[in-house]
Structure 1
């Protein structure tokens, strides 16, 4: 449970850093790439063994970080596009609702069992995520823009499911830091390639705000994945319960941090979502 709590805290810190980007006018894309580099370096520092390139190529999980790294950058850009076209609430709901995918896969592929009360808790968690993430009076998705949030939903769910898959079937405890590091390293390389393509039309200028913003984001970003994998490796809860608790607790804590630090105002629906989040956490964790 400590690992899960630290993962939730790290993910909430990511939210805080993103909010500060607006305040200090940090260019998100460039900071994101720097963040992935920092997260990659952090993982290599935590890895206690010797990094052997030949052994990495032969590792059963080697191809995983490559695909996941590409997904990280792709989903980030899709989230940004969704927020611009359909609204921030739509992007937020699509991202967090994706917890359904690893929950279903955990039950189907890994034969996990949930009690009836836990199932009720998961359903309430989905409602809580929707209500707490809703920053507009009405969530309206036009048919023309339906594809974007669906891709965000699908991609976010695939990332979480992939983490569970490699943790369950391919990773040892000692390899967790290295695996996490490589995921972020591959994301950084993909981001650099993407920026390189963009700079053909728009020259790249070094901005120290972007670099500092990336450093501030990179460390909690790394630990959000690292501690999530650690939590999945414990036998206290099923992966379905862990993904539910992780997502709904992040939404709840981020919402409360927004109120305290950034003076955000919540609607009645938002407060209802926070209340339901508490109930769902109790049902999933204690029953």
Structure 2
């Protein structure tokens, strides 16, 4: 359980860091690209030794690491576009409600336990994500002509979580979690370099501010993935891990928003927090 708590904490800190990006006028995309090389380096350091290139090339998990790395940076950009064109709440709900995909995959592919308490807990988790994320009394508002963006965000986020679980079960041996995570971020950085080259052709250059911001973001970003993989490695069912992880992140982020940034919560948000706590307890108790 400690790994799950740490995954929730580090994931929540990422949102806090992104909030400070707004405060300090950081170029988010550039900082994200820098963050990937920092996360990759952190993974290699956590691995404890210089990895053998031959070992990486012949690793069973290499394809999944490259696939996930490409998805990391792609879905991040979709998230940014969704936030800009459909609104932050739509992006948050689309990304976090993707928990249904790894939950269904866990029950279907790995024959994980299912019962009325877990089902009710998962449904409450979905409701809490919506209630906690919405910042307008009118509910979610979005450009109906841009429905594709939130759908791709929903699908992509779910595929990432499902792929992490599949790779962890079938291909990543114990002790290789750090190296696997590092290669995921290395792939994302390679794609990011291509993006930086394009940005330079548009006269948008990397700045010291973006580099510093990327360094700050990189370490917790690495550990948010590492702790998630360790949670799955310790035998917790994915149909338990992902609802608690997603809902816990939304819940903790909301609390941090109030404490650090004096964000105002509407009645729906308070209801969402209560529902989130109920969902976490029901899912955890169902597992026990």
> TM-score per shorter chain, which class?
over 0.9
* 1:24-173 correspondence to structure 2 within 5 Å: 24-136=24-136, 137-173=138-174
User: Aligned equivalents of 1:2 and 1:228: distance in 2?
Assistant: 11
User: Aligned equivalents of 2:253 and 2:51: distance in 1?
Assistant: 36
Deviation at 1:69, TM superposition (A): 0.9
CA contact (8 A) 2:85 2:143 kept: no
What is the root-mean-square deviation in Å for CA atoms of aligned residues?
A: 1.1
User: Aligned equivalents of 1:229 and 1:26: distance in 2?
Assistant: 30
CA contact (8 A) 2:44 2:50 kept: no
Deviation at 1:65, TM superposition (A): 1.4
Secondary structure of 1:173's partner?
A: coil
User: Aligned equivalents of 1:85 and 1:13: distance in 2?
Assistant: 24
Deviation at 1:50, TM superposition (A): 4.4
Partner of 1:267: 266
Deviation at 1:203, TM superposition (A): 4.5
Q: TM-score normalised to the size of structure 1?
A: 0.97
Partner of 2:244: 245
Query: Could you list the per-position Cα deviations for residues 54-112 of structure 1 after superposition, in whole angstroms to 9, with x for gaps in the alignment?
Result: 12111111111111111111111111111111111111100000001000001111111
Partner of 1:257: 256
Closer/same/farther in 2, CA of residues 178 and 238 from structure 1, 3 Å limit: same
Partner of 1:217: 217
* Deviates further, 21-30 or 129-138: 129-138
Deviation at 1:115, TM superposition (A): 2.1
CA contact (8 A) 2:124 2:279 kept: yes
Secondary structure of 1:56's partner?
A: helix
- Runs of at least 5 residues in structure 1 that lack an aligned partner in the other structure: none
User: Aligned equivalents of 1:30 and 1:198: distance in 2?
Assistant: 9
User: Aligned equivalents of 2:75 and 2:272: distance in 1?
Assistant: 25
Query: Could you list the per-position Cα deviations for residues 167-212 of structure 1 after superposition, in whole angstroms to 9, with x for gaps in the alignment?
Result: 01001111100000111111111111112123212242x4221111
* Deviates further, 190-199 or 157-166: 190-199
- Runs of at least 5 residues in structure 2 that lack an aligned partner in the other structure: none
* Deviates further, 110-119 or 46-55: 46-55
Secondary structure of 1:82's partner?
A: helix
Deviation at 1:268, TM superposition (A): 0.5
